[in-house]
Amino acid sequence: MSGSDPYDQFSYESIPFQDSHPRHLACLGRLFELPAAEPEFCRVLELGCATGGNLIPMAWYQPRAQFIGIDLSANQIRQGQALISELGLTNIELRQGNILDLGAELGGFDYIIAHGVYSWVPEPVRERLLSLARELLNPSGLFYLSFNTLPGWRMRGMLRDILRHSCRGISDVRNRLGAAYAALTRLETAVQELQALSARYLREEIKYLRAAHPSYLLYEYLAEENRAFLFSEFLQTAHHHRLDYLCDTQLSYLFPSTFGEATERALEDIADDMELEQWLDFVSTRNFRRSVLCRDDATPAAELSLDAFAEFSFGSDLTPPKRVDLRHHKPSVFHQPDATPVEVRHPLSKALLLEMHERQPDLLHLRELLPGAEQRLFAAGGREHAQAYDGCLMELFSLFAHRALTATPTDSCFSDSMGPAPCTNRLAKAQVRRGYTYVATARHTSLDLDSLSARLVLLLDGKRNSEELAGLLMNELQAGTLEPPPGLSLKSWSQEKLRTRFEQSCRELIGLFSRQGVLTSASAE
């Protein structure tokens, strides 16, 4: 490995990608009637695993499954190996390696993941990536592969051209980043009064880049290799390597109705499913795909199975409104963690979502959720809706298709008995100690942390209640060893008001950690 390798100077921010989790992939396979392996006992390979930010949380929360991660960067592999060693995990191995050198010695896998690899490597590596996946996939195995797509990516490519021009001749990674951010500032100022579509796009993309981790700018926009592909072109390449496209990880992209009635009418005469998906890329100017492929000798069904969907276990991170109408088919607006609104109409669907919210972070079969949902309907005067199962199931499927609902083939329980003195798990503590700005959740998402919540992760050791924790945090804040969170005024607030605020914040954060499966019993640690 050359000393000029950019990953030796600046590691990629490796985080959980929920769409790549075996739970979700297994559900997609079974919806098409493929006997996808049980996630709790599967074997998983991630190619391009970076520091293991996607794979290590899988191994932590699924101790009976087996995981292997491979990355070209020896530095990133060492970082991941150090975390694995600290956690004492025995079901995961990270290796430094080149995709071109890998083969059958790895064995067979139920799930193979390659996120952020295909578009960012030279053609020989892309070709080997596909042939290797076909070689290593078990008969009913599934291959998750993400890549940049045309024509939508051309807008992003425009900004890439500008930034690479601004960084020409600069080899040092941090200096390149500095020049890129300076170029963003210049460009933002130059286009701030322009109303052209391209100018509006640039302003939005610059805003996003300023909020994103610097590694995204470095390895997406400044990378030497970054290619985008037409979906139809990608299909031909995959077929050449004896791989068949199954679906996108977000099923809503398969349906023209997702994009409105006009789109549905305009595309209704396209009979070929793959041509239809290509046109949906055109219509939506899609710039990125998360595709699921299978072996060409697998036999998926042509249509999605709602019967298979009814056998899944479910959970939801949707936040319900203060009042939910359980008597009528009127929309209630729930919100995703990023504040995106989601309308839910069916009374039984709403009652089930309330039950899922209360049972977080567990993923439970509908037969486990229905009794509580029915009781909610009875209490609200909506008894007649309790048996309207079919209509409810269609709405739940729509929520799943739009990734507003999490599913798994079988129940997954993460909650634990904490008592009055809760404790964060060792994975969360290790991530904070290593400077992560997030912790990985049981649902395989990232929970972003500010200074207060990061410090609380370390203080939750099963020995202190919320009042004691608030006192500790106040002392550290006043001593200057803890950075004040946004909106906190030390000078204008009284000690009593500060203590009340801190106790409330501690209770809210502990509740959030509990709902995300980050807490455990102190005895388990």
Domain definitions of the chain by residue range? 6-150+230-295, 153-221, 306-408, 423-524
Phi, psi (degrees; rounded to nearest 5) at 491: -75, -40
Terminal CA-CA length for the chain: 38
d(CA 281, CA 385): 38
Provide the Cα torsion 443, 444, 448, 452; round to 10°. Answer: 60
- Return the pLDDT at 489: 62
d(CA 348, CA 292): 31
- Return the pLDDT at 4: 54
Neighbours of 434 (CB within 10 A): 12
**Residue in this structure with the two tokens 């609380």, named with its chain if needed:** 456
Give the fold, CATH level 3, of 306-408.
Outer Surface Protein A; domain 3 (3.90.930)
- Residuewise pLDDT in 10s, the chain (525 residues): 334 566 666 677 789 999 999 999 999 999 999 999 999 999 999 999 999 999 999 999 999 999 999 999 999 999 999 999 999 999 999 999 999 999 999 999 999 999 999 999 999 999 999 999 999 999 999 999 999 999 999 988 999 999 999 999 998 888 999 999 999 999 999 999 999 988 999 999 999 999 888 888 998 899 889 999 999 999 999 999 999 999 999 999 999 999 999 999 999 999 999 999 999 999 999 999 999 999 999 999 999 999 999 999 999 999 999 999 999 889 999 999 889 999 999 999 999 999 999 999 999 999 999 999 999 999 988 777 777 788 899 999 999 999 999 999 999 988 765 567 789 999 999 999 999 999 999 999 999 999 889 999 999 998 888 888 888 888 888 888 888 776 666 666 677 777 788 888 888 999 999 999 999 876 555
Does the pTM exceed 0.75?
yes
- Return the pLDDT at 439: 96
Count how many Cα atoms sit within 13 Å of the Cα of residue 105 in the half-sphere of its side chain.
5
Strand partners, 109: 137
Neighbours of 383 (CB within 10 A): 14
- Return the pLDDT at 9: 65
Short-list 461, 278, 306, 275, CA closest to 395: 306
Classify the C-alpha dihedral 152-284-337-443 as positive or negative: negative
As a CATH number, domain 6-150+230-295 is 3.40.50.150
Query: To which H or E segment does residue 229 belong?
Result: strand 228-229
**Residue in this structure with the two tokens 């956690």, named with its chain if needed:** 87
d(CA 188, CA 210): 11
